[in-house]
């Protein structure tokens, strides 16, 4: 039987599990990869692997023209913003990832806030987009001490500053907002929301959306949700596809928002949003609110949902591309998952780099996905960001946590991880917090 050629762009743990999901397909996938570094896990699955900047249009165009894949799929946000999906389309290669115009959902925070407002989709906090200083001070006075200032554009999570966490008092907020205005001519200032965050990702074919199980990420570097923000230290999901602190009603509110935004995007731009729509939500005392949208699978969230995916990932990608997703069965196992990242000491601010790590035997039932590591002839080296993700899948979160935790110790070297992710103790705190708010 003839196979399918798939072009995958990206080289993190998210792309490692995407590669695995593609290779599991009944369509006999031949995988062609463009990644910024050599990921040993992806390399083992790939026919050909080009190490190049994932935003380098010329290099990718040359590779794709030679390979002529049946379709492409993009892992990270940067190539989407850089127009790689658009460039591939010009070569008549379709992607299960959004075009630049609608990818703005992630790359421009002001666009997304304005879109929800324009189409009267509930879920925005109190917010204003400023293009100059007019009214800026007044809005800070209105918000008082609880504000968030967001630089516009992709900043890898570092452009957002929250009062009480990164900034104190109105003066510091104003100063940062002025800095953002100077940098990009735009800044979003909004109400600080209090509650528990969760991620709801949907596969979208432009008009039809199918939800994945909800997941909770842990952005803070240290135990007890303290310390600097990171790309995400670990995640969990529950066997019933809800989360212990969330109600079905709240998940439905988030799901509704994704569906309305999908429709609004087409009405606003005339371009169908095809790919994964990732809503970052927060359950508050007043209902579910939108923190931000991403135009791709989350990392680590991809490890939770794709570990559970029972359906054929190639069928899903083709359903997205052909606008036939409503005819594709999309099913997830009713199991719990916990993913923990092992990261370099000093991560995220001053990570050690170029240090060797040893990966011992990984316990049965746990899957390992490589992220920011460099495979050299004499072994594996840290390259400065999240290194390896370990995923446990089981009937309960507690059991999945035990599995993931049993595996993190297999990595020897200057690394750390968060022991508390997925533990009953931390989850109980989140449940109590939501009880208090409700």
Query: Which residue in the set 87, 162, 271, 362 belongs to the binding site for ligand AMP (CB under 6 A)?
Result: 162
**Considering the rule CB under 6 A, would residue 298 count as an interface residue with ligand GLY?**
yes
**Considering the rule CB under 6 A, would residue 81 count as an interface residue with ligand GLY?**
no
Considering only residues 339 through 368, tell me which ones interact with ligand AMP, judged by CB under 6 A: none
**Considering the rule CB under 6 A, would residue 279 count as an interface residue with ligand GLY?**
no
**Considering the rule CB under 6 A, would residue 211 count as an interface residue with ligand GLY?**
no
Q: Which stretch binds ligand AMP (CB under 6 A): 75-83, 133-141, 156-164, 198-206?
A: 156-164
Question: Which entry of ligand GLY, ligand AMP, none binds 299, CB below 5 to 8 A by partner kind?
Answer: ligand GLY
Instruction: Give Cα 294 to chain centroid, integer Å.
Output: 7
Nearer to ligand GLY (CB atom), residue 298 or residue 348: 298
Nearer to ligand AMP (CB atom), residue 159 or residue 422: 159
**Considering the rule CB under 6 A, would residue 188 count as an interface residue with ligand AMP?**
no
**Considering the rule CB under 6 A, would residue 315 count as an interface residue with ligand GLY?**
no
**Considering the rule CB under 6 A, would residue 217 count as an interface residue with ligand GLY?**
yes
Q: Which stretch binds ligand GLY (CB under 6 A): 293-301, 350-358, 392-400, 401-409?
A: 293-301
> Minimum Å distance from CB 197 to ligand GLY?
10
Point out which residues pair with 290 in neighbouring strands: 281
> Minimum Å distance from CB 9 to ligand AMP?
22
Query: Which residue in the set 4, 23, 24, 192 belongs to the binding site for ligand AMP (CB under 6 A)?
Result: 192
Q: How far apart are CA 101 and CA 119, in angstroms?
A: 17
**Considering the rule CB under 6 A, would residue 337 count as an interface residue with ligand GLY?**
no
Q: Which stretch binds ligand GLY (CB under 6 A): 127-135, 255-263, 297-305, 410-418?
A: 297-305
Could you give the string, one character per residue 134-153, with x where binding to ligand AMP holds by CB under 6 A and - elsewhere? --------------x-----
Q: How far apart are CA 193 and CA 330, in angstroms?
A: 33
Nearer to ligand AMP (CB atom), residue 124 or residue 322: 124
Nearer to ligand AMP (CB atom), residue 156 or residue 360: 156
Question: Which entry of ligand GLY, ligand AMP, none binds 250, CB below 5 to 8 A by partner kind?
Answer: none
Nearer to ligand AMP (CB atom), residue 197 or residue 355: 197
Query: Which residue in the set 125, 153, 227, 244 belongs to the binding site for ligand AMP (CB under 6 A)?
Result: 125
| Closest chain position to ligand AMP (CB) | 292
Total Cβ atoms within 10 A of residue 98: 28
Question: Which entry of ligand AMP, ligand GLY, none binds 193, CB below 5 to 8 A by partner kind?
Answer: ligand AMP
Query: Which residue in the set 232, 280, 319, 384 belongs to the binding site for ligand AMP (CB under 6 A)?
Result: 280
**Is 53:36 a contact under the CB 8 Å cutoff?**
yes
Query: Which residue in the set 15, 301, 315, 420 belongs to the binding site for ligand GLY (CB under 6 A)?
Result: 301
SS (H, E, C) the chain: CCCEEEEEECCCHHHHHHHHHHHCCCCCEEEEEEECCCCHHHHCCCCEEEECCCCCHHHHHHHHHHHCCCEEEECCHHHHHCCHHHHHHHCCCCECCCCHHHHHHHHCHHHHHHHHHHCCCCCCCCEEEECCCCCHHHHHHHHCCCEEEEECCCCCCCCEEEECCCECHHHHHHHHHHHHHHHHCCEEEEECCCCEEEEEEEEEECCCEEECCCEEECCEEECCCEEEECCCCEEEECCCCCCCCCCHHHHHHHHHHHHHHHHHHHHHHCCCCEEEEEEEEEEECCEEEEEEEECCCCCCHHHHHHHHECCCHHHHHHHHHHCCHHHCCCCECCCEEEEEEEEECCCCCCCCCCCEEEECCCCCCEEEEECCEEEECCEEEECCCCCEEEEEEECCHHHHHHHHHHHHCCEECCEECCCCCCCHHHHHHHHHHHHHHC
Q: Which residues bind ligand GLY (CB under 6 A)?
A: 217, 232, 294, 298-299, 301
Q: Which residues bind ligand AMP (CB under 6 A)?
A: 125, 148, 157, 160, 162, 190, 192-193, 197, 219, 280, 291-292
């Amino acid at each position: 039987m003839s196979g399918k050629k798939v072009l995958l762009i990206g080289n993190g743990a998210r792309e490692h599990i995407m590669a695995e999901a593609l290779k599991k397909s009944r369509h006999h996938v031949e995988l062609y990869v463009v990644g910024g570094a050599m990921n040993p896990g992806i390399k083992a699955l790939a026919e050909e692997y080009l190490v190049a900047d994932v935003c380098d249009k010329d290099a990718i165009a040359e590779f794709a023209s030679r390979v002529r894949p049946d379709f492409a799929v993009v892992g990270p946000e940067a190539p989407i913003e850089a127009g790689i999906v658009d460039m591939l389309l010009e070569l008549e290669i379709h992607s299960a990832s959004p075009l630049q115009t609608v990818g703005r959902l992630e790359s421009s925070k002001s666009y997304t806030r304005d879109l929800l407002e324009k189409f009267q989709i509930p879920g925005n906090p109190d917010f204003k987009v400023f293009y100059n200083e007019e009214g800026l001070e007044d809005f800070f006075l209105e918000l008082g001490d609880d504000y968030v200032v967001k630089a516009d554009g992709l900043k890898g999570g570092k452009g957002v500053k929250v009062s009480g966490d990164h900034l104190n008092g109105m003066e510091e907020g104003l100063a940062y907002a002025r800095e953002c205005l100077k940098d990009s001519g735009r800044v979003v200032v909004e109400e600080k929301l209090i509650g528990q965050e969760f991620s709801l990702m949907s596969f979208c074919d432009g008009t039809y959306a199918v939800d994945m199980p909800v997941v909770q990420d842990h952005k803070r570097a240290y135990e007890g949700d303290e310390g600097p923000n990171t790309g995400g230290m670990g995640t969990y999901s529950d066997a019933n596809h809800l989360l212990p602190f969330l109600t079905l009603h709240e998940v439905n509110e988030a799901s509704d928002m994704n569906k309305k935004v999908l429709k609004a995007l087409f009405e606003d731009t005339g371009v169908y949003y095809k790919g994964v729509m990732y809503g970052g939500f927060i359950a508050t005392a007043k209902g579910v609110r939108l923190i931000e949208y991403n135009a791709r699978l989350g990392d680590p969230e991809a490890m939770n949902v794709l570990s559970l995916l029972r359906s054929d990932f190639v069928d899903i990608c083709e359903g997205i591309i052909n606008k036939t997703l409503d005819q594709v069965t999309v099913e997830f196992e009713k199991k719990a998952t916990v993913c923990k990242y092992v990261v370099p000491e000093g991560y995220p601010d001053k990570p050690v780099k170029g240090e060797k790590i040893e990966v011992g035997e990984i316990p049965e039932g746990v899957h390992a996905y490589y992220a920011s590591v460099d495979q050299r002839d004499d072994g594996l080296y840290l390259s400065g960001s999240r290194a390896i993700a370990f995923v446990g899948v089981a009937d309960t979160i507690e059991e999945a946590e035990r599995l993931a935790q049993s595996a993190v110790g297999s990595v020897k070297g200057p690394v750390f991880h968060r022991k508390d992710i997925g533990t009953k103790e931390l989850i109980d705190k989140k449940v109590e917090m939501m009880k208090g708010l409700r």
